Amino acid sequence: MEEKNKHLARYHPEANSSISRLAMTTPNKSFSLGRLMITGGVNSLVAENKEFALFVFTSLQRHTRGDWGDLSEEDKKENEYSLNRHLRLLSAYERPPLPKIWIITEADRSVTTVLFPEEY
């Protein structure tokens, strides 16, 4: 975990305030996001591409509502099992031509990370 976290960066400042508000205001939130983190690759694209920034924001909204995105039915069932057992949660979102993102909430709900699959 420590090795992974040293490669993480915070959201671009403008995005961070919007994302923080999301964590506090999303209705029907079924779990805590904890501290919101973003990898360097995602951060760079959020900073330069408003469409991608909106995609990340709406994907986080979906994640907090338990909409696991573009996962197999088996993986969605695993998330439903994990939700109330405090196990790690994974969502995947795609909207071509934008790159696919993953959102991972750690088992203890202390951190939620947005990343590209190749950054895992």
pLDDT digits (tens, 9 = 90+) for 67-106: 999 999 999 999 999 988 889 999 999 999 999 999 999 9
φ/ψ of residue 6, rounded to 5: -70, -15
More reliable by pLDDT, 118 or 21? 118
Q: Where are the beta strands (DSSP E) in the chain?
A: 8-9, 35-39, 89-95, 98-105, 111-115
- pLDDT the model gives residue 120: 92
- Phi/psi region, residue 69 (left: phi>0; alpha: psi -120 to 50; beta: rest), is left
Structure token pair of residue 7: 């490669």
Bridging pattern class, strands 111-115 and 35-39? parallel
Structure confidence at residue 115 as a pLDDT band (50, 70, 90)? very high
For 9-59, the pLDDT digits (tens) are: 444 444 444 454 444 444 454 788 999 999 999 999 999 999 999 999 999
Angle (CA) 115-81-35 rounded to 5° is 35
- pLDDT the model gives residue 19: 52
Q: Which long-range contacts (CB under 8 A, 24 or more apart) does 48-52 make?
A: 51/98, 52/98, 52/99
Q: Is the pLDDT of residue 6 over 50?
A: no
Strand partners, 101: 93
CA separation for the pair 96, 67 (Å, rounded): 18
- pLDDT the model gives residue 17: 47
Look at the pTM and tell me if it is higher than 0.85: no
Bridging pattern class, strands 98-105 and 111-115? antiparallel
- pLDDT the model gives residue 24: 41
